[in-house]
Structure 1
Amino acid sequence: MTMTKRFKIGVVLAAAISFTSACKKDFLEVTPKGRLIAQKVSDYDLLLNNLDMVNISTNSQVAMSDEIAAVQPYFDGASLKTQRLFRWEAVIYEASENATEMDMPMKNIYTFNKIIQELPAATDGTAQQKRSIAAEAMAGRAWTYFLLVNYFGKPYDANTAGTDPGFPILTKADVTENKFTRASVKEVYEFIINDLNKAIPDLPAKTTHSMRMSKAAAEGLLGKVYLFMGKPELALPHFDASLLAAANSAIPLALYDYNKTLAPGGEFLPIGSYGPSYPSAVNNRECVYNKQSSNFWTFFYNEFVIDKKTVNLFESTDLRLKFYSRNAYYGPEYPTGLLRKMGPTSFQYGILLPDLYLLRAECKARLGDLTGAKADVEQLRKNRMPSANAVVPAAIEGQQLVLLNFILEERIREFALSGYRWFDMRRLSVDPLFKAKTYTHTLYAVTGAVAGTFTLKPERLVLRFPQKVMDQNPGMENNP
């Protein structure tokens, strides 16, 4: 079975479930049961409400990020995949296994392509509605390809991107396609940018639901794409546009002030065994575009903690420490200096306001606007700790490289154990300012002694395609 054929089956089933529960009776009466086919503009609109678009279930980036450590005996009982990811091994999956990094994203690409391809012929609806829905599909496809190329393609390096293998580009919902060629990293990025530039003019100006793509989300994504290409001057205007659009959202979008939400009577209380009572994804006011995955390492898995160097990045007044515990969810207490993350039980990695503020701060710092960079990072910090402690230290604010490093460390403080660091590690590995950095993981014994150390090799900044995918697509090039 080819890659597209395999993924198509899951999409059809998901779409059938969505239509069965959401479509009117007259739709079911004109279409044979079990063969539900999108026909009306409203049907294609419903395809974008599929929960498969939200619950992507790819969390490998958490285990590969360098802010974490592992602890025995919990690590010894972790899945083989988890252990391999933490050790940055070449082979992650068994020969018969699918890659979770591909399963749902490829199903969603099929759906996006179906919408883009078939919508012009859909019945009912206006031309403007068709343009808007197609724009959402194009921007959603862009987000998905950005994720895939950051799993399976090398970090974007202008010197080599034209020849570095990226990911196959599929633009048609065609089950007869059986030959796949990896486009170059440059071609994939150009494809993403082209989709976003086409989509943005027709996207909703106001965010009405975090599950649906809006101008605020697409502008933020385009800024992120340019920054990952090492082009902060092109990224900055899009971050500005994204945050401006988010401020004019039809739904509440704003940073949570932990000084209030974690104060007596605050909405994040009480703090239970799974951490503070953090809002669900659909109610998360910091989420502009909702993509999430379960994060069992902030729930009831004990093998991963933030390591000592990460703990030392936090000031004692940082309220984000309320999301950590010295104790395992079950079993022996952790060695001194290691902290387990407690919640949320899923992590958001679509388009988030904290990410936008820190990425814009990074752009400004790289472009020499140190005052603007300081303001953006402080905008986040004053919502995470008492205002007196949120100010960027005077010794840092006037030094470009030091301030830039402080912003990158703020990203670790904000997103520890949620996978963001892995994608930062990738792009920084080709950044002249940071490319000399070495990344390591430490495995601790229950006594606190070091039981193992693992060093990331440059070739492991990309995932290999599983053997099952290679067997199903002979001739497609794999990563080293």
Structure 2
Amino acid sequence: MNPKYKILTFLLATATLAGCKKFVDIKTQGQLVPNQTINYRYLLNNTSNFETVANLSDFASSDINLNDAAQQTALSGSLNYNYLVASYTWQPVIYPLGSNIEQDPNWIRLYNNVLNCNTIINELPGSDGAQADKDALTAEALVHRADTYLNLVNTYAKPYNAATAGTDLGVPLILVQTLSQKLNRASVQEVYNQIISDLAKALPALPETQAYNTLPSKASAYGELARCYLMMNDYANAGKYADEALKLRSTLNDLSTITTVTSTNYPRRITDPEILLSKVPVNSSLNFFPTVLKPSDEWFNLLGTKDQRYALFTTPAATISSSLTGRVYTKERAIGETRNEGPSVPEMMLIRAEAYARANDATNAMIWVNNLRIKRFKTADYTPLTATDANDALNKVIDERRREFFGISLRWWDMRRLNNQTNFQRTYTRVFNGTTYSLAPNSNRYVFPIAEYFRSLNPELEPNP
């Protein structure tokens, strides 16, 4: 955070740890003065209140392979790593009731984000500032709330299915903080409707770009809409909003001329031109043994050794620990920056590509894939990809998403949304400490469980199957 921004610390989160009825029993009076508009600017500048997203999806993805015996032993030797092991092996319980890890920090953090957004959205109309300032601040909060609910619904609810979304259980939709409110789960459709509504309301008052990627802009909102519609399998609207985002920001980091990645030659997350809105996972980076992310053999085979994402972002695992074999993903370690999970220019390009492929336009689909890939190879190593037809183009788009978005939630979200499409259905397997785990198409394990601790305090909070 730039030092010119004044930061206020608001003690809003402490009451959220006791469960959801207590979750919403929070007052802002005494922590900020509701009638002073400037205080809401300070709150929005405190990015820790808004930037964090869920991390469970990062470990459930097929791109991760924690296959070294030493790593498996170390991870299973501490209950503190249970969230990583349980999500990696698609377990029905991740935060055991009665244990010292019974409270899911993903759920807590995301609903704390919602609380902070609601504080701004609900209190700003009564503040003393100029209307344009109030509209702009409200718009930023609406974008953050939309992103948070997109994370929640893609973590704790079924993948979007137009035929069943109206009845599938989503997540509690809290739009106003009160002393007590029921936490019945809204439908998946209702949650997506709210996300789209928040972003549509935000757009008119947002600036086209911001000085720092932690602050929402029009490009951020368009990016969130493109991501949202892609998860809804609405490819026309996904492509439309990806186009709108790219009109405002389309710069790629050119890896073709880089020989090594360091904190001095690679942009910081808050100013990285590729990032439309910076979001970071709970628990920050995983850079050291035993939690370093190790890509699967399948991912390495997709990438190939000529790709600069292989040369620059992976390294022999022995550089992390002599107990590890193969190669590990070390981009974060190299640049000293937590991985970004928010919308980005590469994501918009590949959403645009997928929209073309879904519309039976293989030529334009591959143009957009290659517009990205040309920046990911040394000139001598680059060869444009081609597709025989739209279906082949779609497969190549999905493969490119895997290459580009390693270690972030998007691979898991893709597995969820594609798992009911016949040509992408497959059973995933992995072995951990001698036990084989499987994830079958349409399995309930594509939805993370809501911690029993929260449900024990809020019986109306229906469990996932």
**Alignment correspondent of 1:3:** 20
Residue identity matched to 2:242:
F
**Alignment correspondent of 1:119:** 124
* Compared CA separation, residues 4 and 43, structure 1 to 2 (3 A): farther
Q: Deviations over 1:96-136 (max 9, x none)?
A: 4211221121111111111111111101x221221121111
CA contact (8 A) 2:54 2:110 kept: no
Residue identity matched to 1:428:
L
**Alignment correspondent of 1:228:** 231
CA contact (8 A) 1:299 1:343 kept: no
How far 1:452 sits from its partner (Å)? Answer: 4.3
In structure 2, distance between residues paired with 1:403 and 1:219: 24
How far 1:418 sits from its partner (Å)? Answer: 2.7
Tell me whether 1:59 sits opposite 2:51 in the alignment: no
Residue identity matched to 2:92:
A
CA contact (8 A) 1:68 1:305 kept: yes
2:314 aligned to 306, 324, 333, which one?
Answer: 324
**Alignment correspondent of 2:93:** 91
SS of equivalent to 2:436 = strand
In structure 2, distance between residues paired with 1:360 and 1:464: 32
Residue identity matched to 1:136:
E
CA contact (8 A) 1:441 1:455 kept: yes
> Following superposition of structure 1 onto structure 2, how do residues 275-314 of structure 1 map, counting pairs within 5 Å?
278-293=266-281, 294=283, 296-302=285-291, 304-314=293-303
Q: Deviations over 1:377-419 (max 9, x none)?
A: 111111110245444334xx23211111111111111122233
Q: Deviations over 1:421-475 (max 9, x none)?
A: 11111111133442x22222244x8xxxxx4432114101111110110011112
Tell me whether 1:399 sits opposite 2:396 in the alignment: no
SS of equivalent to 2:45 = coil
In structure 1, distance between residues paired with 2:84 and 2:31: 39
**Alignment correspondent of 1:476:** 461
How far 1:287 sits from its partner (Å)? Answer: 1.2
Q: Which runs of 5+ in 1 are unaligned?
A: 13-30, 248-253, 271-275, 446-450
Residue identity matched to 1:39:
N
* Compared CA separation, residues 420 and 366, structure 1 to 2 (3 A): same
In structure 1, distance between residues paired with 2:418 and 2:74: 32
* Compared CA separation, residues 478 and 328, structure 1 to 2 (3 A): farther
Number of aligned positions between the proteins: 431
**Alignment correspondent of 2:163:** 159
* Compared CA separation, residues 66 and 8, structure 1 to 2 (3 A): farther
1:454 aligned to 428, 437, 444, which one?
Answer: 437
Q: Deviations over 1:158-212 (max 9, x none)?
A: 11111110001111022x1231110010111111111111211221123332111
How far 1:236 sits from its partner (Å)? Answer: 1.1
**Alignment correspondent of 2:366:** 374
CA contact (8 A) 1:41 1:122 kept: yes
Tell me whether 1:212 sits opposite 2:229 in the alignment: no
SS of equivalent to 1:289 = coil
SS of equivalent to 2:331 = coil
1:137 aligned to 117, 137, 141, which one?
Answer: 141
CA contact (8 A) 1:287 1:351 kept: yes
**Alignment correspondent of 2:342:** 350
2:35 aligned to 26, 34, 39, which one?
Answer: 39
**Alignment correspondent of 1:237:** 240
Q: Deviations over 1:67-92 (max 9, x none)?
A: 11112111121122222111110000
2:426 aligned to 415, 419, 437, which one?
Answer: 437
**Alignment correspondent of 1:81:** 83
Residue identity matched to 1:5:
K
Tell me whether 1:426 sits opposite 2:416 in the alignment: yes
SS of equivalent to 2:158 = coil
SS of equivalent to 1:205 = coil
* Compared CA separation, residues 329 and 474, structure 1 to 2 (3 A): farther
User: Which of 287-296 and 463-472 deviates more?
Assistant: 287-296
User: Which of 176-185 and 288-297 deviates more?
Assistant: 288-297
Residue identity matched to 2:400:
E
SS of equivalent to 2:181 = coil
**Alignment correspondent of 1:250:** none
Q: Which runs of 5+ in 2 are unaligned?
A: 1-17, 76-80
**Alignment correspondent of 1:28:** none
How far 1:37 sits from its partner (Å)? Answer: 2.4
* Compared CA separation, residues 197 and 359, structure 1 to 2 (3 A): same
CA contact (8 A) 1:307 1:339 kept: no
Note the aligned Cα RMSD (angstroms): 2.3
SS of equivalent to 2:455 = helix
Residue identity matched to 1:241:
E
In structure 1, distance between residues paired with 2:352 and 2:25: 38
Residue identity matched to 2:236:
E
How far 1:51 sits from its partner (Å)? Answer: 2.3
In structure 2, distance between residues paired with 1:52 and 1:208: 17
CA contact (8 A) 2:314 2:329 kept: yes
**Alignment correspondent of 1:172:** 176
CA contact (8 A) 1:239 1:356 kept: yes
**Alignment correspondent of 2:10:** none
In structure 1, distance between residues paired with 2:119 and 2:447: 29
How far 1:295 sits from its partner (Å)? Answer: 5.1
Residue identity matched to 2:280:
Q
CA contact (8 A) 1:300 1:329 kept: no
TM-score (ref. length: structure 2): 0.86
Instruction: Give the share of equivalent positions with the same residue, in percent.
Output: 31
**Alignment correspondent of 2:9:** none
In structure 2, distance between residues paired with 1:453 and 1:326: 26
In structure 1, distance between residues paired with 2:288 and 2:374: 27
Tell me whether 1:104 sits opposite 2:94 in the alignment: no
User: Which of 77-86 and 156-165 deviates more?
Assistant: 77-86
* Compared CA separation, residues 419 and 207, structure 1 to 2 (3 A): same
CA contact (8 A) 1:299 1:344 kept: no
